[in-house]
Structure 1
Amino acid sequence: MHTGSCLCGAVSFTVEGDLPGPDGCHCTQCRKQSGHFFVSTDVPRSALTISGAENVRWFRSSERVRRGFCATCGSSLFWDPVGRDWMGIAMGAFNTPTNTRLAVHVHTAEKGDYYDIADSAPQFTTVPPRPH
């Protein structure tokens, strides 16, 4: 089991099971929302329990995605592809250890000009197809 929370503690969560290797998304929306590139792990909705859900505010950033953040402290917490059976959770919100490593960088064509991607994780200019 893995636990985490927002900065002020108004929202906390638990994830049952192992965390898949997270994605680092460099798209413009993720950079603007998080202040840098956004790193999240995708977990089955059935494995996620949110406490303080009444303190989560959702921003519909596109037709297919909404982003969840704490209404009190503003911490970026969730990336929710509406209608899918999984949800992305911000890696920075987890209590450590997470026992995982960054698995992939996506939307690298939109990355900021102020940093380099210097690790050995695979890089994709868009998003690679997900296995079925």
Structure 2
Amino acid sequence: MISGTCNCGGVAFTVEGPLPPASACHCGQCRKQSGHVWASAPVAETALAFTKDATLTWYDSSDIAKRGFCNRCGAFLFWKHRDEAQISVAMGALEAPTGTQLGRHIFVADKGDYYDIADDLPQRAQ
């Protein structure tokens, strides 16, 4: 079991592991929401359990997805595609050890012009 929280503790959750390799998303929405690159791991909805969710708010960020965040501290915690039974969980919200590593970069066609991707992990344009 892996635990996670937002900054203020208003949202607390557990993930039944193990976690798959994480993705670093470079899309414009993730960069704006997180301030840079957003790293997450997809988990089955059934593997995610909330122990506190009073401050969890969902934002419809597009026609296909929504983003979950704490409405008190602003921490961006989750990304959910409307047609999938999984939720991407922010790696930064999880307590160590997570038992996983970064496995790929996605939406690199949209990455910021102020940095380079300097590792050898697979990169997807979208």
- For the criterion TM > 0.5, the same-fold answer is yes
TM-score by length of 2: 0.96
Identity of matched residues, %: 48
Cα distance in 2 for residues equivalent to 1:60 and 1:106: 21
Equivalent pairs counted in the alignment come to 126
1:53-106: per-residue Cα shift (whole Å, max 9, x none)?
Answer: 231111101011000000110001000112311000000000011111111101
TM-score by length of 1: 0.92
Are residues 1:39 and 2:36 paired? Answer: no
Partner of 2:72: 72
- Higher deviation after alignment, 50-59 or 95-104: 50-59
Partner of 2:103: 103
Question: Would you say the 8 A contact 2:10–2:54 is kept in 1?
Answer: no
Matches within 5 A, 1:1-132: 1-126=1-126
Partner of 1:129: none
Task: Classify the secondary structure of the residue corresponding to 1:41.
Answer: strand
Segments of 5+ residues of structure 1 without an aligned counterpart are: 127-132
Structure 1 stretches of 4+ with a deviation exceeding 3 A read: none
Segments of 5+ residues of structure 2 without an aligned counterpart are: none
In the TM superposition, what is the alpha-carbon distance from 1:50 to its structure 2 partner? Answer: 1.4
CA RMSD of aligned residues (A): 0.9
